[in-house]
Amino acid sequence: MQNDIKAGVLLPAGQAQWGGGTDPRELLPFALRAEELGFASLFVNDSLLTPRIEALTMLSALAAVTRHVELGTGALLPFLRRPVQAAHSLASIDLLSGGRLTVAVGAGFPGRFGRPLYELSEVPWPDRFTRLDETVSLWRRLWTATEPFSFHGKLLHFDDVPPSVRPHTPGGPPIWLGGATPAALARTGRHYDGWLPYPPDPADYRTGLDTVHRAATAAGRPPEAITPALFVSVLVDDDPVRAHRAMDAYARAVYGLPLDDLRKIQAVVIGPRAEVAARLREYTSAGAHHLVLRLGGLTLDEQYAQLEAAAEILPELN
C-alpha cells in the first residue's frame, strides 16, 4: 500500500448544507477545523443552478485564513467565466495562497446539471470539450507569458493578450480533469496533471486509471506525473439504516435523486467507520492517491459531526 494517500473535504459551500439560518461565514471556522484535524485539502464545487458561495470567491477567503492545507476546485466549470479573466483570478488565488491551488475542471454533462448552465452562460453546448481544452491551454500560456501574445484555437481567438500576474507555482497551478468517458481518459493522459472521477465501482477506477496511464505513455508523458484522485460522498454512522436515510435525504436535497439512483452514477460510501474505511481502501488499492470527501450533511452541525467522524478514518487509509 502506498503511504502517500491524501484525503481532503469538499467545503459545504452550497446553501443546502449551511442553510436554515446559519451564517455562511461560519464556513471559514469549518475550514480551519478541517485543517486542524489533518485533512490535506479543501475543495469547492461550482454551479449556477443551486445557491452557493461562488467557487473562486470561496477559495480567496480560504487562501487568507488557512496556512498549509491545499485548496482545490471540484470541479470548476470554465465556460461559466471569460477565459482570460478566469486565468487572472486563478493566478491570483495561487499567489495569495502561496502555491496551494489545484484546479480540477470539467465541461459539464448532459441533463439538468449541464446544458442549462451553457444557456445561462450564453456558450454553445457543441464542441464543449474542445472549448475546455483550449481554455486550459490559454491559461497555461498566460501564466508563463512575459509579453503580449496571440492565441488562436478552433474556438478561442485572442490577440495582444497582456501577461497575467505570475502564479506562485511555476507554470501555474496543476490542472486536473473530471470525467471518466473514454475521451476524457485519453485527454487526461495527454494534457492534464491529474484525474478526478467518481466511479461507483473501484474496479472501474482501476480500469480508467490504466487507460489514463496508457494515454500518457503514448503522448510521451510519465504516468506518475498525473495525480490519481477520487471524488466520493461519505457518511459515517454506526447504524446502517440511519446512514442510508441520512444520505438519501442529502441526495434528494442536492441532486433531486434518491440515494439508490445516485449510487449508480457516483461513488458513495456510507455506514460504520470500519466499513467506510475498508471501502475507501478499495479505491486506494485501485490507485487513488488523493480522496476528496463530500460529507453527507444538510446542516453545518451535521457537516461538523461528519468531519470529526471522517477524521478518525484518516490513519486507516494508508
- Is residue 70 within 8 A of residue 100, CB to CB? The reply is yes
Predicted local confidence at residue 22, as pLDDT: 85
**61-65, 110-114, 174-178, 264-268: least confident range:** 110-114
What is the tens place of the pLDDT at every residue in 150-176? 999 999 999 999 999 999 999 999 999
Angle at 82 between CA 175 and CA 49, to 5 degrees: 85
Q: Average the pLDDT over 212-232 and give the result.
A: 98
Predicted local confidence at residue 2, as pLDDT: 42
What is the tens place of the pLDDT at every residue in 27-44? 999 999 999 999 999 999
**Per-residue pLDDT at 47 exceeds 80:** yes
Place of cell 440511519: 242
pLDDT band at 112 (very low <50, low <70, confident <90, very high): low
- Is residue 211 within 8 A of residue 185, CB to CB? The reply is yes
Predicted local confidence at residue 279, as pLDDT: 98
**Per-residue pLDDT at 1 exceeds 60:** no
**52-61, 110-119, 185-194, 228-237: least confident range:** 110-119
Mean pLDDT of the chain: 95
Domains and CATH numbers, the chain: 6-316 (3.20.20.30)
- Is residue 83 within 8 A of residue 135, CB to CB? The reply is yes
**Per-residue pLDDT at 18 exceeds 90:** no
Residue 64 CA to residue 53 CA, distance in Å, equals 16
Predicted local confidence at residue 104, as pLDDT: 98
- Report pTM: 0.96
- Closest to 269 measured CA to CA, from 298, 237, 299: 237
Residue 3 CA to residue 13 CA, distance in Å, equals 30
Predicted local confidence at residue 158, as pLDDT: 98
Residue 302 CA to residue 112 CA, distance in Å, equals 27
Predicted local confidence at residue 50, as pLDDT: 86
Residue 288 CA to residue 280 CA, distance in Å, equals 9
Strand partners, 7: 291
Q: Average the pLDDT over 264-292 and give the result.
A: 98
42 CA to centre of own chain: 9
- Is residue 282 within 8 A of residue 247, CB to CB? The reply is no
Predicted local confidence at residue 20, as pLDDT: 73
- Is residue 193 within 8 A of residue 182, CB to CB? The reply is no
